[in-house]
Structure 1
Amino acid sequence: MVAMTSRTRRVLALALTVSATATALTAVTGPAAASPSPLLAWRPCAQPGGPAGQECAELPVPLDYRDPNGPRLTLAVSRLASERPQARRGTLLVIPGGPGGSGIRRLTQQGDSLRRELGGAYDIVSFDPRGVGGSTRAACGIPAEDRQLVTLRSWPASDGGIAANVARSRRTAEACVRNGGAVLRSLTTANEVRDIDRFRQALGEERLSAFGVSYGTYVGAVYAQKYPQRTDRWVLDSSGDPDPRRVARGWLANMARGAEDRFPDFATWAADPARDSMGLRLAERPEDVRPLFLSLAAELDRAPRETTTAGVPLTGNRLRQAMQTVLYNDASFPQLARLIRQVMDPEATPVLTPDVAGPMPDEDAAVTMAVVCNDVRWPASVAAYERAVAVDRGRYPLTAGMPVNITPCAFWKGAAVEKPTRITDEGPSNILMIQNRRDPSTPYSGALKMRAALGDRARLVTVERGGHGVYLGTGNACGDRVVTTFLVTGERPGRDLSCPGRP
């Protein structure tokens, strides 16, 4: 477990129940309405199953902000205009996660929910960051076998060896240097923040409100640090440790702790007698599920199983990666339990979960790696990674050393790394954080580091449940109500608070 500083302990001590703090609220004033912008030519782009009235446009941005009149990239942007102009108070930016997440896709998927909750208070906008979706993209030319999620994430060999990870990381980095060009080198958090401010200007807004999730919370925190006077109501959902010395390297390492925090939720679910009728009960007692999973993964290390996906066997590491992905959402628990039941049956042919069944597109793999490698310099010592993996495998068996293993970033060349932004408590007190207690991707211990860094600028709502992503994603009425109230009225809890995990 990550050691707590005295300052972190003070943050923890602030946590109170909803009932104790419901009357302690602060108000945040809003911006004036935006002027129409001639820079964005909006066109209809509503998708089947998505929100009506969705519009899209293209926003040109500099490839390199040090040369503002030089080559340009194009960002795909989208909006849902307020359906109640008399209630409109500004623009809410949805900041996607990732790195590599599409804001336009998120707006398409979540736009109707946001509209219902916010009641016309905002034009809701988002974008595909450079390198993503409909924006200007880059590619590395990575072979398909190296673009599997189980290879992009460096799972060690069954004996803990990392020689194959080292070779793969080196050739991936070399391919990106050889083929990625200036666009790949420009894929950074700092440039995404600059692009957001260019988008703000194009929208004609003096200030933005924002809703950032996962990696989007870091982007949002950096924006609030660099442009505090341009922020209105700021929501950070599922935050990681913003330590500027480590950035994504720290986020990845923390996932080992996150899996350990979260797995008991799956174990309780999988041992519940209610699973009997589904054919998915794995054990009589929750405490028996973890050793079962570890033993099956070890068996697959020794003898991989053929699957329904030709040429893609189920290995121990594929099972571990499937587990790590499934822990994001309770709704995915059945697919992991089903896969485990298939492994338990020697006559069954396992059906892989989609995340481990095939390669990622080359452009998606490129942007996912480029941002984390361009943002900060990573250690290059192979021996240091070997030692870290050995320790982590013993401490966190579920993730088997993957979170601290070597990546292409150890061999990354050609990017002009900017000094990462240090998040501080300097700026307006207009940030609301919300976090699940047992998050497998951005564990609570890391979120507390973000909370401590922001100081009195922020309030933290802790939801006593597991999973990644909270607002409008888990059905937690308490957490949803606090965020919606803040965004619509500006009322924010006067202190950190806790929400029960039940809906």
Structure 2
Amino acid sequence: MYRKRSAGRGLTRLAVLALTGALIGVPPVAAEPGGDPAAQVQWGACPADVPADPPQLQCATVPVPLDYSRPDGTQIEIMISRLASKNPDKRRGVLLLNPGGPGGSGLGLSKLLVTQGLPASVLDSYDLIGMDTRGVGHSAPVSCGFTDDQAYFGNIPPYAADDAAVAEQATIARGVAEQCAANDHDGRLRQLSTANTARDLDRIRAALGEEKASFLGFSYGTALGAAYASMFPERADRIVLDSNIGDTFLDHDGMRRYARGMEETFPDFAKWAAARHDSYGLGRTPEEVRRTYFTLAERLDKTPVDGMDGGLFRFSNFVTLYSESSYAAAAQSWQSLLESGNAGPAGGRPPGTGAPSPNDNGWSVFLAVTCNDIEWPEDVGTYRRAVAEDREKYPLYGAAAANIMPCAYWQLGPSEPPVPVAADGPAGVLVVQNRRDPVTPLRGGESIDEKFGERSRLVSVDGSGHGAYVLGTNPCASNTVTGYLVDGTMPERDVTCAAASG
């Protein structure tokens, strides 16, 4: 047996880690393609909180308009990082990186990709350019003023057991929307959108002195990459979109797909746990493991244990499915919860102190971009019906993913329509997608591939988890994407990658 741990603490830690991530009316305002990079970008040491290993990582800032409808108005600074190619003879340009979110810092993403095994041929071919997108971290950061004692404590709404829970969440969501509007003192929150961030990418490209820019984005980064390829098709070079939300924005339907993703991915965890029944005792078959999930969730709904209630339990297991590396920690927590029964320390989420939440910036950016990108339904009844439908259709997580968001009451945007995916333009978009992904299920990859038409190819991978290229282990996916980034080898047709052996 594995060493036991505090009943809810392991899953709570996983949940916290996961939370720490258009054109009409406003012209694209493209930057000039050329320029002297030495004169426009001054590289130096990165801030102390940016991972500096490999030590060659450098940082700089690029000025961009806060409001692109007033390009000569207030400017903000976007911080970027560079891991330069060490092989000038093979270097072909820059590869812009985005880790997702919206709200995730990307300054250290090149370090993560190198650690995970990004091929040397890609490192030779490109300067890797990470960044904190507008509003994030070191790039004119925004804040809704979240504190650690608020009822709002995550980007995904809590599981709604009934209509009353939806109504309660609606009250919280309205308060959060009003709070964000009240904290938008300098107008930054209202200027956070996927369209504006795509415009920033083109400013960064020009400041680096590049005629074109390639792009590798994960999760929400696929929406940003799709927007860039649509708004600036002649400037976008080789575009890789990994783990796709299905469009250039996240809306209520996209959020509801999280429930589908969990249903499609949970069997992988259940099979893994059943094969280790002698270690964890969660069930001898995947079906028994699934029943254990509902047993624990319903027990915790009635009696929270050690800071873990039913809603947090469901959310924590949703996060667990991002990677098989999280399975063991989750199984240990399930084991402890089963053994403690109702005898452990009672109580839900521990009370806060009123101090600023460490997730304030990430949550604020997520809400601003998500709510500014597109109109969300305002009628509570729409969410109540969606929750009831998805609670039955996707019982693992449907009543959370369909629940009401602060976007229903958002006061700051949208200020322009969402970016339409442009099917007209040069080919060059490679869509990469695990077949089982809890947050961006396969349907997201299929949808964005359909929208791009002949501009894209879909690489579907018989794999599980969030992230297929580098973050996954499938050699077919790795070779296909690497071949495209390095040699420009776009598959003639869609690719289906079989499960990796072993």
TM score, norm. by length of structure 2: 0.86
Does residue 258 (structure 1) correspond to residue 261 (structure 2)? The answer is yes
1:422-461 equivalent positions in 2, closer than 5 A: 422-461=420-459
**Residue of structure 1 equivalent to 2:387:** 389
Q: How many residues align?
A: 458
Distance in 2 of aligned mates of 1:178 and 1:381: 23
**Residue of structure 2 equivalent to 1:301:** 301
What amino acid does structure 1 have at the position aligned with 2:122? L
**Residue of structure 2 equivalent to 1:333:** 327
**Residue of structure 2 equivalent to 1:282:** 282
**Residue of structure 2 equivalent to 1:198:** 203
Distance in 2 of aligned mates of 1:459 and 1:197: 24
Report the Cα offset of residue 198 of structure 1: 0.4
Report the Cα offset of residue 297 of structure 1: 0.2
Does residue 109 (structure 1) correspond to residue 107 (structure 2)? The answer is no
- Give the conservation status (yes or no) of the 8 Å contact 1:241–1:250: no
- Give the conservation status (yes or no) of the 8 Å contact 1:137–1:363: yes
**Residue of structure 1 equivalent to 2:500:** 502
TM-aligned CA distance change 1:213 to 1:115, over 3 Å:
same
1:2-25 CA-to-partner distances (Å, cap 9, x unmatched) read xxxxxxxxxxxxxxxxxxxxxxxx
What amino acid does structure 2 have at the position aligned with 1:129? T
Distance in 2 of aligned mates of 1:67 and 1:440: 40
**Residue of structure 1 equivalent to 2:172:** 168
Does residue 417 (structure 1) correspond to residue 415 (structure 2)? The answer is yes
Q: SS at 1:91's partner residue?
A: strand
Report the Cα offset of residue 443 of structure 1: 0.6
- Give the conservation status (yes or no) of the 8 Å contact 2:391–2:398: yes
Distance in 1 of aligned mates of 2:89 and 2:473: 29
1:448-501 CA-to-partner distances (Å, cap 9, x unmatched) read 111111111111111101101111112211111111111111112111111122
TM-aligned CA distance change 1:406 to 1:183, over 3 Å:
same
1:423-442 CA-to-partner distances (Å, cap 9, x unmatched) read 13211111111110001111
Q: SS at 1:60's partner residue?
A: strand
**Residue of structure 1 equivalent to 2:43:** 42
**Residue of structure 1 equivalent to 2:22:** none
Report the Cα offset of residue 360 of structure 1: 4.5
1:84-120 CA-to-partner distances (Å, cap 9, x unmatched) read 0111111111123111111112123224543624151
Distance in 2 of aligned mates of 1:500 and 1:186: 43
Unaligned runs of 5+ in 2: 1-32
1:209 to 206, 214, 225: 214
What amino acid does structure 2 have at the position aligned with 1:39? Q
Report the Cα offset of residue 232 of structure 1: 1.3
Report the Cα offset of residue 206 of structure 1: 0.5
What amino acid does structure 1 have at the position aligned with 2:433? Q
Q: SS at 2:469's partner residue?
A: coil
Identical counterparts, % of pairs: 39
- Give the conservation status (yes or no) of the 8 Å contact 1:80–1:111: no
1:160-198 CA-to-partner distances (Å, cap 9, x unmatched) read 531220111011000001112300111100110010000
What amino acid does structure 2 have at the position aligned with 1:177? A
**Residue of structure 2 equivalent to 1:25:** none
Q: Please tell me the root mean square deviation across aligned C-alpha atoms, in Å.
A: 2.5
Distance in 2 of aligned mates of 1:167 and 1:119: 49
Does residue 235 (structure 1) correspond to residue 240 (structure 2)? The answer is yes
Unaligned runs of 5+ in 1: 1-31, 308-312
Distance in 2 of aligned mates of 1:114 and 1:78: 17
TM-aligned CA distance change 1:64 to 1:85, over 3 Å:
same
Q: SS at 2:462's partner residue?
A: strand
What amino acid does structure 2 have at the position aligned with 1:319? F
**Residue of structure 2 equivalent to 1:220:** 225
1:53-81 CA-to-partner distances (Å, cap 9, x unmatched) read 11100111111011111111111101011
* Larger displacement relative to structure 2 (154-163 or 226-235): 154-163
